Structure 1
């Protein structure tokens, strides 16, 4: 007898349902809410909800403030999007920025409701460092990296008021919002499939102020995907 929730002939029904939802999200770039996903796939709403939560948690789906789901930031890297990935483009830029400022530079990406540090470049000396590790997860609405990542995309309902100001200024500087003693400078990276930002974190407030033009220059060097085809 085939076990519950498993299709005949082997395989996983849960996986197949999750992939079916992902296909529907790909067909609707404007986004679908849970009820619409359920209607499109024929799944019960509770099943669609559970699968969407899992897809969102793992980055395969993104969710906006209105509860609409779209294909998440993980997917383009799996399907071989044309041109180099954001991380490939950003890595040498981060290395140069860390050497120039003698401070930790990182790439921050919005995954679900958190800002995830996906690349880190450490400075060459033991100056006034603030160590920041790859994989760090911080709130999107606090700290330079998360706020700048939000500002890299179009306006969203219920986003913090200062995000639009960051969008217009092209950078943000924060003091101790996520970690005590940390000063962050970040610039949005618009145009990529994921909301992202380049971020510098230091324990030296003077360095943070001096870093602003260098961080903006680094963001310009990363540019948009079409610059690297």
Structure 2
């Protein structure tokens, strides 16, 4: 008697992958966000299986979860779709060499901040080559969106949305923001939004000396213009 094939191995396919893609498609049809239970019902999956798939999609950036537990399509999926449709470069690939040059020029830590769900997430970090005390951001660091230069500037890179902090409108108008000790004592920050990309993002610089607010402003704006110019 021939052994029957498991569903996950039928015709060389992967049932888990197919389920994950079905969940991702369902998230794309619900721009206001879906709960685990709603996704499970829509896809005809057990809730525990749906939960594991959503966790994997969130870890890889293909889904994001807000404070209320609702899931939406994440920046990785949006980035992939945008590049496939328009032949765009990948934001982090474009930003990396620009941020390294910026860190060297101003002798301070530069980073790329992206909005992921309800947080400002550091997705690239460039350290200056010199030694000495400095503020450094860990890759994957998460900060609130309602304070701190990076998160506010990243929000300003996209159109106005309901519930955003009042200061974001001013950042859109000026094209930059400076802050002092909003997230860390003694930290001075300068950030500029990166409009036009499929994810909300910003160039962010943090230092321990107040002079950075003036000396780094033009280099940060120049870096933001260079990254944005890659879209053309």
TM-score by length of 1: 0.79
Measured at CA, do residues 33 and 130 of structure 1 come closer, stay the same or move farther in structure 2, by a change above 3 Å?
Answer: closer
In the TM superposition, what whole-angstrom CA distance separates every residue of 1:154-204 from its partner, at most 9, and x where no partner exists? 111111111111111111111111111111100011111111100001001
| Residue among 19, 22, 34 paired with 1:20 | 22
Query: In structure 1, what is the equivalent of residue 42 of structure 2?
Result: 41
Q: 1 CA distance for matches of 2:181 and 2:17?
A: 42
Q: State yes or no: 1:113 paired with 2:118.
A: yes
Q: 1 CA distance for matches of 2:115 and 2:187?
A: 20
Q: State yes or no: 1:134 paired with 2:136.
A: no
* Deviation at residue 133 of structure 1 after TM alignment: 2.5
In the TM superposition, what whole-angstrom CA distance separates every residue of 1:23-56 from its partner, at most 9, and x where no partner exists? 1344x4x814438x65993548977995796345
2:113 alignment partner, SS class: strand
Q: Is the 8 A contact 2:147 2:183 kept in 1?
A: yes
Q: Which runs of 5+ in 1 are unaligned?
A: 1-7
Q: Is the 8 A contact 2:89 2:231 kept in 1?
A: no
* Deviation at residue 122 of structure 1 after TM alignment: 1.1
Measured at CA, do residues 127 and 85 of structure 1 come closer, stay the same or move farther in structure 2, by a change above 3 Å?
Answer: same
In the TM superposition, what whole-angstrom CA distance separates every residue of 1:92-139 from its partner, at most 9, and x where no partner exists? 111111111111111111111111111111112235622222222211
State the 4+ residue runs in structure 1 displaced beyond 6 angstroms. Answer: 11-14, 44-49, 63-68
Alignment of 1:180-195 (within 5 A): 180-195=185-200
Q: Aligned residue pairs: how many?
A: 219
Aligned-pair Cα RMSD in Å? 3.3
Query: In structure 2, what is the equivalent of residue 207 of structure 1?
Result: 212
Q: Is the 8 A contact 1:61 1:69 kept in 2?
A: yes
Query: In structure 2, what is the equivalent of residue 223 of structure 1?
Result: 228
Measured at CA, do residues 38 and 76 of structure 1 come closer, stay the same or move farther in structure 2, by a change above 3 Å?
Answer: closer
Q: Which runs of 5+ in 2 are unaligned?
A: 1-5
Q: State yes or no: 1:161 paired with 2:166.
A: yes
